Structure 1
Amino acid sequence: MMTNLFSMFDPSTNIFNLSFNWMSSMLGLMIMPYMYWIMPNQFSFLWKNILITLHKEFKTLLGSNGQIGSTFIFISLFSSIVFNNFMGLFPYIFTSTSHMTLTLSLALPLWMSFMLYGWINHTNHMFAHLVPQGTPSILMPFMVCIETISNFIRPGTLAVRLAANMIAGHLLLTLLGSTGPSMSMVLINLLLVVQIALLTLESAVAIIQSYVFAVLSTLYSSEVN
């Protein structure tokens, strides 16, 4: 029995006293080697084109100061998040990206590494970044405080944005589905149409939120170079 609306998203599947909910996040590692022994198909060509497009865009965002191969970490981040988002759309599969445990574990180390790299190697640039160009002298102390707070909340906003968007759609689908037994046949048919439309919307959100997370991480990386 649910104690609250969000308890349905908690890891609670226990087999042999072991929680297997987070295993869905590991399934991607099991299917990755298929590219080395399965003949290329239309899906693999489509995915390759998507990755090439992302590589070009991330390379543009990083600018000329970006290191060779630095886009691969963001492409891998996008691939991992979009896989977990889509896994959550299947019935009876735990949505790992709806938990701050996973989203904050992705955002915090990235942000921390960017900050350490920037302050160690580009200290003057990081100090200059605290005061936007053209700021009046009287507003400089306030801008330093605002920019500092803005930098510190970045990993939290990244994590909360992804988790909140993923949990909102699943929560709406669950609430609508729970009203089905008390409806008439006509309303049930209408509910099915609405559920399918929401599922399509959730598929778009799964891709968009993965893209937003990766792009913002790329922009945060480009600021320290």
Structure 2
Amino acid sequence: MLLLLAIVQSEDAPGLAARLIEQKLRLTQINSSGGLFGTGNVALLLGIEEDEFDAVLDAIRATCKTRTKFVNPWPTPEPPHVYFAPVEVEVGGAVVFGVPVERFVHISGGSDAAAPAPQAGTPTAQQPEGRRDAMRLMVAVVRGEDADNVIGELLAAGHRLTRINTTGGFLRRGNATLLIGVEAQQVDEVIGLIQAACRPRSEAAPLEKGIPEYAANIFVLDAPYFVR
């Protein structure tokens, strides 16, 4: 399994999300900004099987367009009477990162978590400075109404985390993506804490597109480099 991070232009995000949902893929949307021009873009998080990778790339290529934009040049110490015309640049397409997922868990509030799908990597023989094979990065996407409760449980248990306010790609509801760094032996504990903090819901799951709703989706990634 892979966790994909696809950074696309804001104009392309709705169409791409619709294409991916038609393929019965789950995704989470993060509103972000480009580092060079400072313009808004969108980062999409989605978990896929490796044999779905080419189909996802085809959807991205078919949706994400290249556009011509004009940007003002950087300020210069030239005299005030010197003027520079805006610079024409080509932007577009997408940037896609794929990270192997060591373990993936669906959580339904009030029920047992699904079985994990381990895909462990092979440890390296040498340990460079900052490398710890025992560290994992957990990416947990939880419902917005459960986020504060989940964070409270994790903090009370002594875990550190970062919260990113995100949006579900299908129902367009606010949710939260939590980044949690833990030691490998703490992964099951954190999954249990999230499971206990997510409340069961009585509303029907949105099955019209064949995509059931879960209280949380958790990706466990190998984090061989961890530095404070």
Coarse TM-score class (shorter-chain normalised)? under 0.3
Which one has a larger percent strand, Structure 1 or Structure 2? 2
Structure number with larger C-alpha Rg:
1
Which one has a larger percent helix, Structure 1 or Structure 2? 1
TM-score, normalization by structure 2: 0.25
